[in-house]
Amino acid sequence: MAIQKPTLPKGTRDFGPLQMARRNYIFGIIKDTFKLFGYQQLETPSMENLSTLTGKYGDEGDQLIFKILNSGDYLKDVSVSDLGAGAGATLSKVSEKGLRYDLTVPFARYVVMNRNEISYPFKRFQIQPVWRADRPQRGRYREFYQCDADVVGTDSLVCELEILLMIKRVFAQLGLNDYAIKLNNRKILTGLAEVIGAAGRESELCVAIDKLDKIGWEKVQEELLQRGFVQEAIDKLNPIISLQGSNKEKLDFLSSFLVDSETGLKGIGELREVFDLLGKYGESEEFVDFDVVLARGLSYYTGAIFEVKVNNVSIGSVSGGGRYDNLTGVFGLEGVSGVGFSFGVDRIYDVLEELGLFPEKQLDGTEVLITYFDEQGRDYGLKVLSQLRSNLVSAELYPDAAKIKKQFTYADKKQIPFVIILGSEEIEKGQVSLKNLSTGSQESLSLESAIDTVKSSMLNHGS
């Protein structure tokens, strides 16, 4: 019988040691930033009850939830007539749980379930995998990590300010210095719909305008016509589509353009305040770009909306989010306002790789390998190993009796910078021979001196 070659499910992947080191580098910077700003970490289960998940992401989203079969005889409640009635009739009887589709709905559930223990405003971050039964393609996976931060229980614009600051800090630490945080306000889009004479149709307007980057203004106009917008209304948008200038100039122009829309003017006021707070904090408007046509298709945003794009790379947006007035309404707790955003870690990884921005020394791996010639060397080596580790030097002893050349090849492949060689002479003198593999220099030292040499070398290399 032929042995079947193992494969991975489509749309999933393994992360080897190098990828993990690089991913942890990104996660480390993001986590430090969240903590610096007072966010606390949460985790929720991989699976949720289907009743929690369904109906929250639209019909299309419901199709993309991975369902989990009930354990045991999952067909026991299914009748022949259920099978005849199709998947919908059968699903509720064979599956009660699903894998989480995002981190926002589980967070809303958490807030509702723990509403009496939480102190508001509640700042939480969450970094966990999510699952979507999507068609896999480049950059789109069925299992991927989301990295969310939200503040709920306040409508202060200081929260919006802090999101801008967190994005700026993370990108500065990652070495990214050519990017734009696109910023808009949902109320401005509502105002646009009102002043062109299409009041109440902002979500249709948004869906079309959201494609501006991809298909261009000509095509967006065609789509708006198909959706029943009149040409006269569409023409009124022309000055908006071609709007240029500084953040202040654009806001000034819009103040007169939206003069007849109370909601629109409110949105402008909120954005002005965010820019004002940025200045008071002592931070510049660099990288922050007010973009009137930023729409972000999601219908639950009610205030500020963000999207971050890195310039001159082949990848789309790497972060996004916005303000929502009613996160927990779907679970019967009304009026919890919040603002949140997420970093697309997989995309940031691809950007750093494309731009060559990962630090040279990525694998914070073993610093010293102990090599030896015989059993006596191995036994002495175990004492040395114990000393190295108690001094917080990450070390290994080559486990097998093997030729010294083979032991050195292992050190090379694992990029271990130092090797300790234990021959009979070193054992007699109670010393070690320390070889630096990058310079090739080798000296006999007491173990204390060897430990100091390794430690100072590691400090200088910023590990």
Q: What is the CATH number of the domain that holds 103?
A: 3.30.930.10
Whether residues 322 and 373 share a domain: the answer is no
Any domain includes 363:
no
- Give the model confidence (pLDDT) of 214-236 as tens digits: 888 999 999 989 998 999 988 99
User: 373 vs 202, 395, 422, 426, 451, CA distance in Å?
Assistant: 77, 18, 7, 12, 21
Residue 463: is its pLDDT beyond 70?
A: no
User: 167 vs 149, 171, 457, CA distance in Å?
Assistant: 11, 6, 33
Mean pLDDT (whole number) for 384-396: 96
Rg (CA), the chain: 29
pLDDT band at 299 (very low <50, low <70, confident <90, very high): low
Helices (H) and strands (E) in the chain, counts: 19, 16
Residue 462: is its pLDDT beyond 70?
A: no
Q: How many CA atoms lie within 13 A of 74 on its CB side?
A: 13
- Give the model confidence (pLDDT) of 235-259 as tens digits: 999 999 889 999 999 999 999 999 9
Tell me what the pLDDT averaged over the chain comes to. Answer: 92
b vs e for 249-269, b when ≥16 Cβ sit within 10 Å of the residue's Cβ?
ebbebbeebbeebebbbbbbe
pLDDT band at 47 (very low <50, low <70, confident <90, very high): very high
Domain boundary among 355, 382, 403: 355
* Strand, helix or coil for residue 49: strand
Q: Determine the Cα–Cα distance for residues 415 and 429; give it in Å rounded to an integer.
A: 29
Choice between 404 and 83, residue whose per-residue pLDDT is larger = 404
Mean pLDDT (whole number) for 374-400: 96
Could you tell me what percent of the chain has a pLDDT over 90?
A: 73
Whether residues 342 and 376 share a domain: the answer is no
- The greatest distance separating any two alpha carbons of the chain, rounded to the nearest whole angstrom, comes to 95
Q: Can you give the residue range of the structural domain that contains 398?
A: 368-460
Domain boundary among 355, 389, 404: 355
- Give the model confidence (pLDDT) of 127-138 as tens digits: 999 999 999 887
pLDDT band at 297 (very low <50, low <70, confident <90, very high): low
Whether residues 286 and 152 share a domain: the answer is yes
Whether residues 350 and 407 share a domain: the answer is no
Q: Determine the Cα–Cα distance for residues 28 and 143; give it in Å rounded to an integer.
A: 21
Cα angle value 57/63/69 (rounded, 5°): 115
Whether residues 188 and 249 share a domain: the answer is yes
Which pair of structure tokens corresponds to residue 160?
Answer: 């919006």
Q: Determine the Cα–Cα distance for residues 149 and 320; give it in Å rounded to an integer.
A: 11
Whether residues 311 and 450 share a domain: the answer is no
Domain boundary among 326, 355, 384: 355
Whether residues 297 and 376 share a domain: the answer is no
SS3 content of the chain, % helix, strand, coil (to 5): 45, 20, 40
Q: Which strand (E) or helix (H) includes residue 290?
A: strand 288-290
Q: Determine the Cα–Cα distance for residues 197 and 178; give it in Å rounded to an integer.
A: 38
pLDDT band at 202 (very low <50, low <70, confident <90, very high): confident
Q: Which strand (E) or helix (H) includes residue 151?
A: strand 143-152
pLDDT at 363: 57
Any domain includes 207:
yes
The amino acid at residue 75 is L
Any domain includes 88:
yes
pLDDT at 158: 97
| pLDDT-wise least confident of 66-70, 152-156, 237-241, 362-366 | 362-366
Whether residues 323 and 402 share a domain: the answer is no
Q: Determine the Cα–Cα distance for residues 459 and 439; give it in Å rounded to an integer.
A: 17
Choice between 139 and 20, residue whose per-residue pLDDT is larger = 20
pLDDT at 90: 86
Structurally, the chain folds into a number of domains equal to 2
Q: Determine the Cα–Cα distance for residues 463 and 460; give it in Å rounded to an integer.
A: 8
pLDDT at 28: 96
Phi and psi (nearest 5°) for 2? -70, 135
pTM over 0.85: yes
